[in-house]
Amino acid sequence: MTEFRDHSLEDFRDQRRYDAHQEALRNSRRAKQRIAARSKQRKRRLTAALLLLAPVAVAAFAFTWSRDQTVIPKASKTKAASTKQSAAATAVGGHIAMPDHIRGVHVTSYGVATPSLMDPIMALADPKVGMNAIQIDIKDERGEISFTTPIPSARRSGAHMNIYDPVAVLRRAHDAGLYVIGRIVTFQDGYAPTQRPALAVHKRGGGIWKNDIGIPWMDPTNEKAWDYPIQLAVYSAELGFDEIMFDYVRYPTDGDSSSMVFHDPRRSRDDTITSFLKKAAAQLKPRGVRISAAMFGLAATDDLGIGQRPGKLRTTLDAVYPMIYPSHFSDGQFGIDKPGDTPGPTIAAALADWRRRTNGGTMEIRPWLQDFTMGGIPYGLPQVQQQIDASDRTGADGWLLWNATCVYTPGVFQRPTS
């Protein structure tokens, strides 16, 4: 706990990131109203798709829920599985080979379901010189799951939202040649902890602990809490997502940290998060699906005390996505007076630490880059392009653009990267 308190929110700027998410949530609510009239038709399509995928769903359910704790197959029994492809993945055009250099954007679940947002994004698809990847939310910051699954924790907690048809969305993306990264918000969850409070972070004096915006967390020190996100990842892999990205795969950073009560408070935070990701990797990699994680931008610069140690995962994860948005760094970070107003040098400095921390590993580094304005100078094409150029020049293996509203700067994908 002391290690965490030594780092203020000014170091993390996690609340700032969440402020951006709140804007997306407002858009989400409006989007939900717009698609209400089409909900019956979508449910019928989803029901039909699930009937077709019933064998896959049953297999995924039986495999992941046969015990209270997810079973990791032995390597000798999973080698053959790495060459197999589920019926569901075949239905969406098969898995897309990972591009040598990822160039993509973030899309919320409601953004996927809103044509006025999704259509312009899909128009950017050009695997040769433009957008070759897309990150789509499977489970978001509130704990909402975008489509129906056979996972009991999701069903009983009411987390299923049926926002988009995953089969149709994956088929559309794969037909356009896009590598699809499914994002799962891991431990922050507004649904599962209320349905299974024994697996939640608790507060002193009793009850479920909540962060500053009123959302509970699953307890990362309780390995039974790992099953739910891993089951969701496995099911999504069977559906045809090409890569699973775990976000919020850490300990809480906002809220009253002094009142948090964990199942195993003596457990090393670094070892806890590392062990979770290793367990997830053992489930996903035999299925031919890559595994990655989003991490705080300073995780390679300082020990943040939240369990994110990139060096420990350099041979476990296929990729890491450091959130190195320039506006999220404090003035003076990396010796730069105003990082938010100096996007290119800030990206280069942050990535230098990431290369140093992960040297000798097989994990690719693909930063999250900023395509939104938050204080300081307005961000447009020059600022976004400066980040891309710095990322490419310093040897990153690709990048993803983040904008919580899913509206991206025109022209970003109109020329080859250097």
pLDDT tens-place string over residues 288-323: 999 999 999 999 999 999 999 999 999 999 999 999
- Whether 305 contacts 269, CB under 8 Å: yes
Predicted TM-score (pTM) of this structure: 0.82
Where does the pLDDT of residue 78 fall: very low under 50, low under 70, confident under 90, or very high at 90 and above? very low
Q: What angle do CA 303, 305, 310 make, to 5 degrees?
A: 55
Burial of 57 (0-12, 13-18, 19+ CB in 10 A): buried
Q: Is 241 left (phi over 0), alpha (psi -120 to 50) or beta?
A: beta
Q: Is 256 left (phi over 0), alpha (psi -120 to 50) or beta?
A: beta
- At residue 6, the pLDDT reads 35
How large is the average pLDDT for residues 39-46? Answer: 51
How large is the average pLDDT for residues 60-75? Answer: 34
Nearest CA among 79, 60, 36, 46 for reference residue 164? 46
The structure tokens 């409006």 sit at 30
Domains of the chain: 2-402 (3.20.20.80)
- At residue 12, the pLDDT reads 36
Nearest CA among 112, 128, 114, 129 for reference residue 183? 112
How large is the average pLDDT for residues 370-378? Answer: 96
CA distance 114 to 116: 6
pLDDT tens-place string over residues 263-284: 999 999 999 999 999 999 999 9
Indicate the helix (H) or strand (E) that contains 236. helix 227-239
CA distance 106 to 406: 7
- At residue 72, the pLDDT reads 31
How far apart, in Å, do the first and last CA atoms of the chain sit?
44
37-45 long-range contacts, Cβ below 8 Å, gap at least 24?
39/162, 42/162, 42/164, 42/165, 43/162, 45/165, 45/168
- Whether 136 contacts 181, CB under 8 Å: yes
Using alpha carbons, list the distances in angstroms from residue 363 to 323, 326, 358.
16, 23, 7
Where does the pLDDT of residue 415 fall: very low under 50, low under 70, confident under 90, or very high at 90 and above? low
62 forms bridges with which residues in the sheet?
Answer: none
